[in-house]
Amino acid sequence: DTGVSQDPRHKITKRGQNVTFRCDPISEHNRLYWYRQTLGQGPEFLTYFQNEAQLEKSRLLSDRFSAERPKGSFSTLEIQRTEQGDSAMYLCASSFPDRDGAYEQYFGPGTRLTVT
């Protein structure tokens, strides 16, 4: 399968615990994005990497959230001291620019986080 993959697919954790999610983008894509989606809403942008550099973070990304892409390939998203409001689907997407600079983003299957 050459699509975007995410692990785990589901995570149930107790409030206050730390969790880490992994995303493996499509291999030739140098841009990687994290989004969060809650029920009945479209995905909301969290952060963006170009190669290993984290170039932008949304104000939704509080200081409990951290993301890395150490070698410009896979990425991890860690949430510390989870809260019930963190319960959501966390989606990863990757893209590579086409010739005129417009980008299609391809999404992984997501990690569904439930904080009890």
> Any residues with CB less than 8 A from the CB of 38 and at least 6 apart, and which?
87, 88, 89
Q: How many CB atoms lie within 10 A of CB 18?
A: 11
Please report, as ranges, the residues that interact with other proteins according to CB under 8 A: 4, 31, 33, 35, 40-45, 48, 55-56, 91, 93, 95, 100-110
Least Cβ distance, residue 29 to other proteins (angstroms): 12
CB-wise, 108 or 115, nearer to other proteins? 108
- Amino acid code (one letter) for 99: R
CB-wise, 21 or 35, nearer to other proteins? 35
Least Cβ distance, residue 44 to other proteins (angstroms): 7
CB-wise, 33 or 65, nearer to other proteins? 33
Please report where in the chains the tokens 């973070």 appear, as a residue: 57
- Amino acid code (one letter) for 74: F
